[in-house]
Structures are given as C-alpha cells and as structure tokens.
Amino acid sequence: MRIVVANINTTENITRAIHEQALGAAGPDTEILPVTPTFGPASVEGNFEGHLAAVGVIDRIIAIEEPFDALVVAGFGGHGREGLTELLDVPVVDITEAGVQLACLLGRSYSVVTSLHRTVGQIRDRLRLAGLDGRCASVRSVGMSVLELERDTARIGRHIVQEAAQAVDRDGAGVVCLGCAGLVGLAEQVQDEVGVPVVEPVAAGVGLTETLVDLRLRPSTIGSYSTPQRKDIAGWPLTRS
C-alpha cells in the first residue's frame, strides 16, 4: 500500500524526521510518500498558523498525481482533517486522533505533552471536537517552539520527561501521548524514564492507517463528509493559479 504522510509546515527537516518515523512504524509492504506544503508557515503554533497550514496541506494533497491508499496528516492539534476527508475517497487519519485513540486503549486516562503553552488550548479544542477529551487528565507543554525542538533534541528530551512525570504523578495520567510531530524519536526515552506507555503520534497514525487500508475501510460519504458541492472558488487551487 502507499500512504501519503503530510507535514503541515514548510520546514523540510521536519518532513524528513516525520518520514523517518513513519518508515519505522510502517510494515514491509507499505510505501511512505512524504509531502511538504508549497506555502504556509515554517512551524504551526496557534490557530492563525493552523488555518493557513490547513489550506497549504489541502492544496498540496490535491496536486498529487500518483494514486495513494491513505493519508496521514502529521500535525498535532491542527486543522484540515475534516476538509480532506470530504475531498478524498481514502482514509484520512490525523495524528492527534490516532495518538489519543491508542492512548485510550492503553490506560484509563492520558495526558498530552506538547511544545508551546499557547497550543494547549488549541489541542484541547481538537480533543473536544473529536470526542476524546473525557479521559484527558491534562495537556502540558514545555514552553519551546517547534523549531527549537529541531535544534536542541537533548534539552527538549529532558523537559518532555519532566512534564510527562508531572502528568503521571500530579495529574493521574496512565499514558502519555506526545503532542507534536516534531517530537519524533523521544517516545522510547520518555517511556523508559517515566515508566508508563508513551504514544508517538506519527507512528500511531501510520499503524492505524495501515489497519484501515487492510480492512478495506473508507470514510463515510453520508452527511458531514459527503463530497463538497460543485461551485466556483476564486483563485483555487493556489498552486495551479
């Protein structure tokens, strides 16, 4: 099978890290096609950048000419998954929902540990929209930007461990879900040091997507995710204007 994994920002180094994580989680017969938007923010840290990124990802995905079996949207707490589900006839999996769904299978409650403080509310909103907030013990952050994470992995690892330990000891979480695609490669370290299951969302997204494809399950076309009505959209798509 061929799975497209879309970075939601325009930073190629992050796309490469996401690609490596996706390859590690994928089965031997799965091809991973990484994509980066042609326009948008260098990192997504807030609703404004999140909405811009959603348009950039949608625009990039509809420009893919070769066939693919599913799409993983690699942005934690970001926007756009619903719109892509309307447009495509293949499974569309957002790493927010994938990571948290797996966390809910591993413990009674979970906590999310993410990057910047300002993204905490955005993540909570996405969890509420997905109906996954009821078992959320907390959403914690380390106060570092996505681009800082890329530059100083050792330092961010220490901070993630500290926040994950607080989530377990103070908030009562039984599972930790890393809340940023830029945190790839840290799950094993956090799990070893904190002693609870730690879900890496890109790997979760790839694993769940493979299952959907293997089971031949596609999105429902009834109701909310039915194909958009045909109408003129000025200047769209952007990359072909």
What is the DSSP annotation of 166-235? Answer: HHHHTT--SEEEE--GGGTT-HHHHHHHH-S-EE-HHHHHHHHHHHHHHTT-----SGGGSPPPP---TT
The pLDDT tens digits of the residues spanning 161-203 come to 999 999 999 999 999 999 998 887 889 999 999 999 999 999 9
Q: Are 122 and 95 in contact (CB under 8 A)?
A: no
Please tell me whether residues 163 and 225 are part of one structural domain: no
> Alpha carbon 185 to chain centroid distance?
15
Would you state the pLDDT for residue 57? Answer: 97
Taking a C-beta distance cutoff of 8 angstroms, is the pair 202, 181 a contact? yes
Give the per-residue pLDDT at 236.
Answer: 87
Looking at the structure of the chain, the number of domains it has is 2
Q: Verify that 211 and 176 share a domain, yes or no.
A: no
* Domain identity same for 33 and 88: yes
Q: Is residue 90 domain-shared with residue 102, that is, in the same domain? A: no
For residue 212, the domain's CATH number is 3.40.50.12500
CB 37 within 8 A of CB 57: yes
Peptide bond into 197 cis (omega under 30): no
- Do 207 and 233 lie in one domain? The reply is yes
Q: Give residue 150's domain range.
A: 96-201
pLDDT value at residue 143:
87
Q: Are residues 6 and 90 in the same domain?
A: yes
Tokens 């996505």 locate to 146
Is pLDDT of 106 > 80? yes
- Decide if pLDDT at 62 tops 50: yes
Same domain, 85 and 103: no
